[in-house]
Amino acid sequence: MQARKRYLILLSAGACLILLLYFGGVQAPLSRSNNRRDDRSLHGYHGRPQWPHFSGSLQPFSPWDQMETEEYNVNRSPRQKRDVISGVYKGKRCRMDSCFDFSLCKTNGFKVYVYPQQKGEKMSESYRNILSSIEASRFYTSDPGQACLFVLSLDTLDRDILSPQYVHNLRTKVQNLHLWNNGKNHLIFNLYSGTWPDYTEDLGFDFGQAMLAKASISTENFRPNFDVSIPLFGKEHPRTGGERGYLKYNSIPPYRKYMLVFKGKRYLTGIGSDTRNALYHVHNSEDVVLLTTCKHGKDWQKHKDARCDRDNAEYDK
């Protein structure tokens, strides 16, 4: 009986101690807060400094699409990036019978209209050569009412945001074109898309129902009988191959000495490395010449293989 009383007394004392600690802990900050309120009445109290209030947020200096791409590369998961790309390629099911208006071609035939270049818009020499070739052809028309096909004057060749040739705010500029019509009967040229490190095929704007004349397009995004796969040509590539009549038809075998020539970078890692590294055996130094260099990027020496020194020497000749 006495032991039970001792246990009850001990339990009651513990409960009282817990209550005292609980209420004492809650009231302690209040008492300190009251002391701070009382301090305001003391002579010489100035309070906390008042920060200036701004009516609006600061405006960013970087273009919105640049910030969007930086956020895209840093803060988004691979799955989110795939979702973004799937949103960019909204016209994956486009074909000539569903996303091309043939009625525009029936009256005046196959005529191509090139948008006039806007003042202040930069344009690479490569894209200028493409537009000049179209304007010099017999298919060109300066009247959009007679056109069957439309080509932008906005440079879309290089859509790598790290490139100096990258055109900012392209999404807004394209949407403001009164003939855009969600890209129907439009042809867009592109050589480079995406940026380091994944180089996804993101052009930075929704091209809708427009056709793509694109280099290095993946089989997943290529739309058969709608898109056009073009080779990746360099900045020094000439606009024309010679004077009128230079080309000779039905010349079999061809008069040229070389059947295949390639000179460029042999990527040691990343996209395209497997393909380029597997083509070295085609090189025979006679009618098939493949000159490649391993010098690509700052850390290429870390990934160099046994053929790099020899390939670099032949490339630099």
Per-chain mean pLDDT for the chain: 78
Under the banding of pLDDT at 50, 70 and 90, the label for residue 266 is confident
Residue 145, C-beta contacts closer than 8 angstroms, at least 6 positions apart? none
Spatial distance between the Cα atoms of 105 and 147, rounded to a whole number of angstroms: 7
Q: Which region holds residue 296: left if phi is over 0, alpha if psi is between -120 and 50, else beta?
A: beta
Range of 39-53, 128-142, 288-302 with top mean pLDDT: 128-142
Other CB atoms within 10 Å distance of the CB of residue 101: 12
pLDDT at 37 exceeding the cut of 50: no
Spatial distance between the Cα atoms of 60 and 211, rounded to a whole number of angstroms: 34
pLDDT digits (tens, 9 = 90+) for 179-193: 999 999 999 999 998
pTM above 0.85, yes or no: no
pLDDT score at 86: 47
Other CB atoms within 10 Å distance of the CB of residue 141: 19
Nearest to 237 by CA among 258, 261, 213: 261
pLDDT score at 200: 80
Average of pLDDT values for 210-236? 90
Spatial distance between the Cα atoms of 189 and 210, rounded to a whole number of angstroms: 10
CB 112 within 8 A of CB 148: yes
Under the banding of pLDDT at 50, 70 and 90, the label for residue 280 is confident
Reported for 173-176, long-range contacts at CB under 8 A and 24+ positions apart, including other chains, are 174/205, 174/207
pLDDT score at 288: 93
Residue 275, C-beta contacts closer than 8 angstroms, at least 6 positions apart? none
At residue 192, the 3 state secondary structure works out as strand
Q: How many CA atoms lie within 13 A of 171 on its CB side?
A: 12
What would you measure as the largest C-alpha separation in the chain, in angstroms?
123
DSSP one-letter string for 245-268: T-S-TT-SS-S-S-SEEEEEE--S
